[in-house]
Structure 1
Amino acid sequence: MEGYKSFLFFLVSALVLGFTLVIFVLVWVLDYSDGLAWDGGNAEFNWHPVLIITGFIFIEGIAIIVYRLPWTWKCSKLLMKCIHAGLHLTATTLVVVALVAVFEYHNAKHIPNLYSLHSWVGLTVVILFVLQLFVSIIVYLLPITPVSIRAAFMSIHVYGGLLLFGCIMGTALMGLTEKLIFSLRKPAYSSFPPEGIFVNTLGLLIIVFGGLILWIATRPGWKRPPEHVEKDQHPLGSEVDDVSTTDYSKNKSDVELNSEARKRNLTLDEAGQRSTM
């Protein structure tokens, strides 16, 4: 790996910040709010920010960079696909529970649903995220998908994942601000109360964490090299979807065929020379 020490620095920083985010949101709901419960009140709503930050930001961030970990490069591509998909499914499960919590809270308090920009963007992101996850499982985990389709879909898969992750962070920041505006009345949010400062700090940490994840995910020198997956097999015996590996095998076969053809031509030339002597 190019810049291995730099990679370790960014990776450790991202992990430390990710755990810090989870600790911060737990301190917020436990110390500044009503804790956690499933009773239709504020404590049930508090599951929403806890599960969103834990699942949709921290775990999702790890899912994005899991292929970049050099210690996993000796693992089969199929195993890494399952780990990658498993982390996405875990994040999705937590997000679904978070949505149930906020809808039940709104219904119990007779608060309208889906009227704010935060809810519009958030629900759109969740739907697109689930759609991408479903399509990706079909394309990359089922052996019936042709390699050409996997290769064509890869750029969309990567770009879509990074775009959705950025939207998740933006939606989370909108949600934090919306919650503080509604809940901080005495003292008001504008008077810089301790809770407001604490949650604003949480928002800044989310931005820094997201920046670290996106930096790790977009460095070409930290990408998983294709030579480690040349011999991987997909379920039911089909070849793994590695375009560079396929091209390498094809080129190698062409070289071998050309070499054999040259040898046959030389043999024919030698035979012709002997016949004329």
Structure 2
Amino acid sequence: MEGYWGFLALLVSALLMGFLAVVFSLIWVLHYREGLGWDGTALEFNWHPVLMVTGFVFIQGIAIIVYRLPWTWKCSKLLMKSIHAGLNAIAAILAVISLVAVFDFHNTMNIPNMYSLHSWVGLIAVIYYILQLFLGFFVFLLPWAPLSLRSFLMPIHVYSGLLLFGTVIVTVLMGVTEKLIFVLKDPAYSSFPPEGIFTNTLGLLIVVFGALIFWIVTRPQWKRPKEPNSILLQSNGGAAEGPLAINTGNIDRADSELNSEAVARKRNFTLDEAGQRSTM
């Protein structure tokens, strides 16, 4: 990998920022917001920021860059695609649970639902995320979709993933600010109370984490190399697929075997061509 040590430094920094964001969200609800529960009170609502930061921010960020880890480039594409899909599925489950906690709290306390911009954007993001997950599963993970369809949808899939990740970060920041304005009355949020400063720091950690993830995933020199059979397909006129695409042929074949097969085909082609020239 080109710039390996730079990549490693950014990766460690991103993981540290994401882990600290999860820890800060837990400290916020356990120390400042009286803890967690599932009884329809504010304790149940507290699951919402914790699960959103853990699943929709931290785990989704890891799922985005999992293909960029050079230690996984020798793993089969099917394995990496399964890990990518599994992480996104975990993030989606945590997001749905966090929504259930919010609606249950609002209904118990007779608070109106879906009146804020935060709730509108958040619900759209969750629905879009689940649709993206199902699209990825049925089109890219299972070997049923034709190559042309996968090639067409790949740029849309990648763009949608980055769009969702950025939208989720913005939505979380809106939600944190909205919550602080509601609960910080005495002392007021505008008077810089300790809880406000602490939670603003949480927001900064999320922003830095998102920025690092975006930088890592958009550097072309850190992209997973193409599979040998994908290169052969492209040379034969087939559509080349992106880093998240499913390989055609035997997906479980080891990369070393694929490399050997490609070299052997090239050698045989050269020998055949030399033989034809000698008989002319």
TM (norm. structure 2) is: 0.85
Structure-1 residue corresponding to 2:165: 165
Residues 215/38 of structure 1: CA separation in 2 closer, same or farther (3 Å cut): same
Q: After superposition, what is the alpha-carbon deviation per residue over 1:139-188, rounded to whole angstroms, capped at 9, x for unaligned?
A: 11111111222122111111110111000000000000000011111111
Structure-2 residue corresponding to 1:121: 121
- Which amino acid counterpart does residue 8 of structure 1 have in structure 2? L
Structure-2 residue corresponding to 1:274: none
Identity over aligned residues, as a percent? 61
Deviation at 1:259, TM superposition (A): 7.4
Structure-2 residue corresponding to 1:79: 79
RMSD across aligned C-alpha pairs, in angstroms?
2.5
Residues 145/20 of structure 1: CA separation in 2 closer, same or farther (3 Å cut): same
Deviation at 1:264, TM superposition (A): 3.8
Deviation at 1:227, TM superposition (A): 3.9
Q: After superposition, what is the alpha-carbon deviation per residue over 1:76-128, rounded to whole angstroms, capped at 9, x for unaligned?
A: 00000000000000000100100000000000110000010000000011111
SS of alignment partner, residue 111 of structure 1:
coil
Residues 16/228 of structure 1: CA separation in 2 closer, same or farther (3 Å cut): farther
Q: After superposition, what is the alpha-carbon deviation per residue over 1:225-254, rounded to whole angstroms, capped at 9, x for unaligned?
A: 1147769xx79x8455xxxxxxxx99x989
Unaligned runs of 5+ in 2: 232-245, 252-260
Contact 1:73 1:228 in 2 (8 A): no
Structure-1 residue corresponding to 2:26: 26
Q: Which moved more, 1:254-263 or 1:149-158?
A: 254-263
- Which amino acid counterpart does residue 208 of structure 1 have in structure 2? V
SS of alignment partner, residue 145 of structure 1:
coil
Residues 142/8 of structure 1: CA separation in 2 closer, same or farther (3 Å cut): same
SS of alignment partner, residue 119 of structure 2:
helix
SS of alignment partner, residue 226 of structure 1:
coil
Residues 88/228 of structure 1: CA separation in 2 closer, same or farther (3 Å cut): farther
Larger Rg, first or second structure (1 or 2): 1
Structure-1 residue corresponding to 2:196: 196
Deviation at 1:214, TM superposition (A): 0.6
- Partners in 2 of 1:41 and 1:228 — Cα distance? 56
Structure-1 residue corresponding to 2:151: 151
Structure-1 residue corresponding to 2:12: 12
Deviation at 1:56, TM superposition (A): 0.3
Residues 257/59 of structure 1: CA separation in 2 closer, same or farther (3 Å cut): same
Q: Which residues of 2 match residues 193-272 of structure 1 at below 5 A?
A: 193-227=193-227, 238=249, 260=272, 263-264=275-276, 267=279, 269=280
SS of alignment partner, residue 2 of structure 2:
coil
Contact 1:63 1:84 in 2 (8 A): yes
Q: After superposition, what is the alpha-carbon deviation per residue over 1:189-228, rounded to whole angstroms, capped at 9, x for unaligned?
A: 1111111111111111110000001111111011111147
Contact 1:122 1:171 in 2 (8 A): yes
Q: What is the number of residues matched between the two proteins?
A: 257
Residues 117/134 of structure 1: CA separation in 2 closer, same or farther (3 Å cut): same
Deviation at 1:258, TM superposition (A): 9.1
- Partners in 1 of 2:228 and 2:274 — Cα distance? 32
